Structure 1
Amino acid sequence: MSIFIMFGKYSPEAIQKISKERTLKVLEIVKKQGGEVKSMYALMGAYDLIMVANFETMKEALRASVAITRATGISFSTLPAMPVEEFDALVDKN
């Protein structure tokens, strides 16, 4: 599975609907799209949320991101990520 970092930003309407039930719905959407949420955090700053999730493919991550936005009004910027050790091994010239 590949790692994806999902940065979320609340719309004014989405802020009004913050709830534990909606969080559970997000977890359900990710699972339905073939993913697994590893962790979620609320943020202060440019983004309101960060979610670390595993998906088999970029297509699954994209589908989940769009489905969550449609269901919650939270817009996501979804980025692929890799462990630094894996990155180092890929770019090591030795």
Structure 2
Amino acid sequence: MAFPTAVNDQITDSVTQSNLQVLATAPAIAMGNLYQATAQALANAAHNATNAQQQMYITAQAATATGVALLYSLDTAASAKATKAILGA
């Protein structure tokens, strides 16, 4: 109990207990905020990794399609060059 003041002791005790309650819960709230921020950061990291992997797969698929198209066009180009050489000679 607080020492005697000009204010009613019950009011003084009520305000004091309220302030103590705020101070007592501050560490728990701080840890809760830290856990929440850490969880959000990890979720963002996982999402970014998934997105990067999907983009890499799209790039790899495009490179593969271009390579296959090039392989298919080599025979045609060689045939065209040989035909031109034969007809031009």
Higher helix share: 2
Question: Quick one: higher RCO (CA 8 Å, sep 6+), 1 or 2?
Answer: 1
Work out whether the TM-score is over 0.5.
no
Higher strand share: 1
TM-score by length of structure 1 reads 0.22
